[in-house]
Amino acid sequence: MFVELHAQSAFTFLEGADQPEAFVAEAARRGMPALALMDRDGVYGAPRFHRAAVDAGIRPLLGSELTLAGGARLPVLVEDREGWQHLCALITRAKLGAPKGKATITLEDLERHATGLVCLTGGARGPLAAAVHAGDRDGARRALERLVAIFGRDNVYVEVQRHFDRQQERDLERLVALARAARVPLLAANQPLYARPGGRAVADVFTCIREKTDLDHAGRRLLVNAERGLRDARAMAAAFRDLPDALAAGGELALRLGFTLKDLGYRFPDFPLPPAASAQAHLRDLVARGVRERYGAQGELVERARRQVAHELEIIGRLDLAGYFLIVWDIVQFCRGNDVLVQGRGSAANSAVCYALGITAVDPIKMDLLFERFLSESRGEWPDIDLDLPSGERRERVIQYVYQRYGRLGAGMTANVITYRGRSAAREIGKALGLPADMQDRLARLVENWGYQDPQAVLTRHLAEAGCDTRHPRIRKFAALWTRVQDLPRHLGQHSGGMVIAAGRLDHVVPLERATMPGRVVVQWDKDDCAALGIVKVDLLGLRMMSVLQESIALVSETGGTVDLAQLPADDPTVYRMLQRADTIGVFQVESRAQMATLPRIHPERFYDLVVQIAIIRPGPIVGDMVHPYVRRRRGRERVTYAHPSLEPILERTLGVPLFQEQLLRIAMVAAGFTGTEAEELRRAFGFKRSERRMAEVEVKLREGMARRGIVGKSADEIVHQITSFALYGFPESHSSSFALLAYASAYLKAHHGPAFYTALLNNQPMGFYHSATVVNDARRRGVRVLPVDVTRSDWLCTLERRDEAWAVRLGLRFVKGLRERAAQALMAARATRPFASPADLAARAELTHEEIATLASIAALAPLGGTRRANLWRVAERNAGRLFAPQAVENADPAPTHPLREMNALERLVADYGGTGVTLGPHPMALRRAALAARGVTRAIDLARGEDDTRVRVAGSVIVRQRPGTAKGFVFLSLEDETGIANVIVTPDLFARCRLPLVSEPFLLVDGILQMQDGVVSVRATRVESLPRLAHVVPSHDFG
């Protein structure tokens, strides 16, 4: 019986040409009983291969082709768990000891880790190949003897391959002689690089990409023929009829290889416990304490909380997950103890245990959230807890804590497999096909708009429409290859925040690799693979808004105030008034153009409205047409109805419109008698990874359940329709609630602690939806004073400064374009020693470049040292080192130097400010034009709200946002800012087509249109667009993001 033991998938990056699943599918089709995946220096595809093989009834065998020092590749197969551990350790050692993307292993390494591994001698790149090819019998014999000495005679096979290659046959004869002489068994393999027909073309293209050449010049580096596919027993028997022992050896060896990924040996780390305590008991104690702290000692709520945590603890106990919760709790405790703001998000917010442990901040009891959305007994998956942390250094501190706590080889970031997609795939294939550069560009642009599921016929049509000659063989090949490579792995990246940890050594479970970022290691599997194999993952996600909140709170305390996020007043009227006005620039999640256009209509009055607001303005609900029914009901224009009276308690909060996934689960539970677990299964069946078969099964079950409760006919149909369409779009209520907390907190800070909030917001730019210039203008409109960059006062970051009995924001040196942080730090250090006497003194002591000091002069940052902008520009431009840097220059500093230049006018100051910092604290560009605009009948943004609906209006401003959402059917949304506020403009597809250029490229626009006022939302439907003269600076805007 033949078994292929040397298959290489596309996870042998840029060599293999098919997914592991494709190999399994083809093997199953050909009735092969087992298959071994042997990718180069990794087991990247092993989990997917394992899953697919188990599903297909094929025995998955695992191994890897290890790159030895010297470049030869040694295939090893895993016999048992120890062998797996050694393989992972070997790969880890090779990967961590070499630059990223490279790996080498010495024979000494192999000696230490040979147990449980079976070695093949490989193909043309194996350790015997060079000596055999050169006819060096002694060299080949010595190499084979060395392998036998390392692995043992029973664990070495001389691999023979037949690809109908004349030279290979000559080598094969020598290999057979060598094996017979050394009494080492032969093993036949084909080392397939692809499973499906046409794989040779992909493999050749990959060769070109790898070798940085094209097909016309790759020559003999390409495959000699198309014989590197997956061969079945019959084909191999025909090829190896003269070597039946080699053919049979694969099958015999396969029987010996008993390892599967079910036997991974992964163990979650033990949490250090108090003496004589079990993890479950310790968790129960911590939760009980948390419940007391959160809910107090008595009351109806605390009783419900106790019941809920008891229920959850029981499930956690049954699933033996107490240790996991303790470890997440431990990370949260570290954050709390180290001044790192942390909040759990996602479905964990459904858990009262998480709330009691302080992992999440949303009260699931009060919010009546559904635990089963988070954890279910039957799913057999680890719970998914995502922790939001401030971005940057604080988050890195937490990641490093996890490494330190569980060891460098005990924790790792999960991988993110970068795959061939769209443009990059088009470009690389075009290059490999030797298409001209302009054609590559054209194709790359073209494929952007292709759905990747497009059948080839559609691709060909697209190509023809783009002016490509589809009769040309290369163009036809391009379309086929582009489709074929979609989703094939390209290389390994790092997931943004997923961390896995293990008891003992993670590198015995999965190989670890060096990440691009120093101090990080990454495992070879992505988060889904880890989850499927039961490896626990904690997501440590960086969120800039968390940084803003943390910095804001620190700044408030600097000013003598205090803000405790846990103690914020729940229904602060100022906050809600601000939200109702859509005065939300800088507020988490509700600052986008679309959110602003809905806030006045939904008119949030309490926290839950904010939860709805965050969930509803998303592509899913918009496409699913849930927004308008909800808004109509909210405004009282439509009656609140339910598909069945039993659904009223579930949908009451959202006025009968299902918005959240939890509602879907509850509908199934109430209407059809599903358990929480069954309901979650239903959601998954109808979710993004839909399967027709599963959906049909679940629907039958749903209808049966409803029928038992007497729900039939139209009501039943309506419920099924709601569930099936909604499951795809629904947003988790718990997730939305967690985000709403951050949104409320940021709105609260904006409303009550403006200076601190804006300071933190500016320090964390770029973030959110708006450029710093818009944030500064917003701050000033709200009465927050912003002070310019000043070399005698500014730090690197923005700071708070007391001015005229109020706190003002002082812009930091980080806003000065081209100023190096190191130079700014030197400047601050020099200033701390003694004040600067003059610009020359400053330049000398801070070692600024001419360009840096000139920029500081142009933005008036040197003004406190005497002189106007132009005076200082003239002074600092002097190149004579003796005069600029010598000490006498300091002594002779002239506080009001004379100069021959004209002083800057308002427009020049504006241009200098934008050019030097990206923001201006002088008049808004539109204020400088106001007189002329008023003469043309232009209405200011602030005056629009006083206009009349459906009347003609003319507005003008600098374009700060351009949006063309995919859900808006070609409509474009512009935000025009003037000195009084922001005007929202809606551009129809027709007008956009006619005036595309000014709309996408002009920084200042004048728009004629019809004023629209609906539920407090003011917008202008454009009928004509005109560009206004540019200024000599770049106006920052958020375009089509």
477 or 780: CB nearest other proteins: 477
Sole binder of other proteins in the list 877, 906, 932, 945 (CB under 8 A): 877
Sole binder of other proteins in the list 689, 902, 946, 969 (CB under 8 A): 902
872 touching other proteins, by CB under 8 A:
no
Sole binder of other proteins in the list 228, 442, 520, 771 (CB under 8 A): 442
232 touching other proteins, by CB under 8 A:
no
Name the nearest CA neighbour of 608 among 386, 363, 360, 302. 363
934 or 1034: CB nearest other proteins: 1034
Name the nearest CA neighbour of 863 among 794, 949, 773. 794
Instruction: Tell me, by CB under 8 A, how many residues bind other proteins.
Output: 46
Distance CA 878, CA 874 (A): 7
215 touching other proteins, by CB under 8 A:
yes
Shortest distance, position 422 Cβ to other proteins, whole Å:
16
Specify the stretch interacting with other proteins by CB under 8 A; choose among 23-31, 32-40, 664-672, 866-874.
Answer: 866-874
Q: Tokens at residue 727, please? A: 């499951």
Name the nearest CA neighbour of 430 among 438, 225, 460, 14. 438
272 or 882: CB nearest other proteins: 882
163 or 537: CB nearest other proteins: 163
User: Alpha helix locations (H) across 541-618?
Assistant: 544-558, 573-580, 593-602, 607-616
474 touching other proteins, by CB under 8 A:
yes
Sole binder of other proteins in the list 124, 176, 222, 640 (CB under 8 A): 222
Distance CA 989, CA 968 (A): 10
Sole binder of other proteins in the list 275, 900, 966, 1029 (CB under 8 A): 900
In one letter, which amino acid is 839? Answer: P
Sole binder of other proteins in the list 82, 638, 801, 908 (CB under 8 A): 908
Sole binder of other proteins in the list 996, 1014, 1023, 1034 (CB under 8 A): 996
The residues pairing with 800 across neighbouring beta strands, listed in sequence order, are: 809
Distance CA 455, CA 517 (A): 40
Determine contact, residues 1000/963, Cβ cutoff 8 Å: no
203 touching other proteins, by CB under 8 A:
no
906 touching other proteins, by CB under 8 A:
no
898 touching other proteins, by CB under 8 A:
no
441 touching other proteins, by CB under 8 A:
yes
Sole binder of other proteins in the list 307, 883, 952, 1030 (CB under 8 A): 883
890 touching other proteins, by CB under 8 A:
no
Q: Tokens at residue 176, please? A: 């057979």
In one letter, which amino acid is 903? Answer: E
Cα distances from 266 to residues 504, 508, 989, in angstroms, run: 9, 8, 56
863 touching other proteins, by CB under 8 A:
no
Specify the stretch interacting with other proteins by CB under 8 A; choose among 91-99, 218-226, 793-801, 831-839.
Answer: 218-226
623 or 1000: CB nearest other proteins: 1000
113 touching other proteins, by CB under 8 A:
no
| Placement of tokens 């019959």 in the chain | 234
Q: Tokens at residue 649, please? A: 């308690």
473 or 966: CB nearest other proteins: 473
Shortest distance, position 215 Cβ to other proteins, whole Å:
5
473 touching other proteins, by CB under 8 A:
yes
858 or 917: CB nearest other proteins: 858
Residue 945, Cα to own-chain centre: how many angstroms? 39
Distance CA 463, CA 688 (A): 30
217 or 606: CB nearest other proteins: 217
Q: What burial letters (b/e) apply to 150-164, b meaning 16+ CB within 10 Å?
A: bbeeebbbbbbbbbe
Specify the stretch interacting with other proteins by CB under 8 A; choose among 115-123, 715-723, 870-878, 963-971.
Answer: 870-878
Sole binder of other proteins in the list 238, 464, 700, 1034 (CB under 8 A): 238
Sole binder of other proteins in the list 874, 885, 971, 992 (CB under 8 A): 874
The CA radius of gyration of the chain, in Å to the nearest whole number, is: 34
217 or 289: CB nearest other proteins: 217
204 touching other proteins, by CB under 8 A:
yes
Sole binder of other proteins in the list 80, 82, 136, 227 (CB under 8 A): 227
Give CA torsion, residues 908, 910, 916, 917, to 10 deg. 170
Shortest distance, position 476 Cβ to other proteins, whole Å:
9
Sole binder of other proteins in the list 904, 942, 1010, 1013 (CB under 8 A): 904
Distance CA 1024, CA 480 (A): 45
Sole binder of other proteins in the list 108, 300, 393, 438 (CB under 8 A): 438
Sole binder of other proteins in the list 252, 878, 950, 1039 (CB under 8 A): 878
124 touching other proteins, by CB under 8 A:
no
DSSP at 194: B
| Footprint on residues 141-180 left by other proteins (CB under 8 A) | 163-166, 169
Q: What burial letters (b/e) apply to 284-314, b meaning 16+ CB within 10 Å?
A: bebbeebbeebbeeeeeebeebbebbeebbe
Cis before 649 (ω within 30) = no
Specify the stretch interacting with other proteins by CB under 8 A; choose among 100-108, 378-386, 472-480, 587-595.
Answer: 472-480
Specify the stretch interacting with other proteins by CB under 8 A; choose among 108-116, 678-686, 869-877, 955-963.
Answer: 869-877
Cβ neighbours for 826, distance < 8 A, ≥ 6 positions apart? 845, 846, 847
230 or 876: CB nearest other proteins: 876
Specify the stretch interacting with other proteins by CB under 8 A; choose among 315-323, 469-477, 564-572, 825-833.
Answer: 469-477
Residue 442, Cα to own-chain centre: how many angstroms? 28
DSSP at 195: S
Distance between the two ends of the chain, CA-based, in angstroms? 57
Cα distances from 980 to residues 383, 694, 773, 944, in angstroms, run: 49, 56, 14, 11
303 touching other proteins, by CB under 8 A:
no
Sole binder of other proteins in the list 57, 99, 219, 645 (CB under 8 A): 219
DSSP at 815: G
170 or 822: CB nearest other proteins: 170
Name the nearest CA neighbour of 570 among 363, 738, 744, 739. 744
Cβ neighbours for 720, distance < 8 A, ≥ 6 positions apart? 699, 702, 703
Sole binder of other proteins in the list 57, 99, 108, 220 (CB under 8 A): 220
Determine contact, residues 122/73, Cβ cutoff 8 Å: yes
648 touching other proteins, by CB under 8 A:
no
270 or 851: CB nearest other proteins: 851
Specify the stretch interacting with other proteins by CB under 8 A; choose among 91-99, 415-423, 632-640, 993-1001.
Answer: 993-1001
Name the nearest CA neighbour of 106 among 127, 120, 125. 127
Cα distances from 537 to residues 320, 330, 476, 495, in angstroms, run: 16, 14, 44, 11
Residue 59 main-chain phi, psi, to 5 deg: -80, 120
Determine contact, residues 547/760, Cβ cutoff 8 Å: yes
Largest distance between two CA atoms of the chain: 102
Name the nearest CA neighbour of 1025 among 983, 984, 989, 987. 987
916 or 957: CB nearest other proteins: 916
226 touching other proteins, by CB under 8 A:
yes
Distance CA 39, CA 53 (A): 16
608 or 874: CB nearest other proteins: 874
The contact set with other proteins (CB under 8 A) reads: 163-166, 169, 200-201, 204, 215, 217, 219-220, 222, 224-227, 238, 433, 437-438, 441-442, 445, 473-474, 477, 854, 858, 870, 873-874, 877-880, 883, 900-902, 904, 908, 912, 996-997, 1001
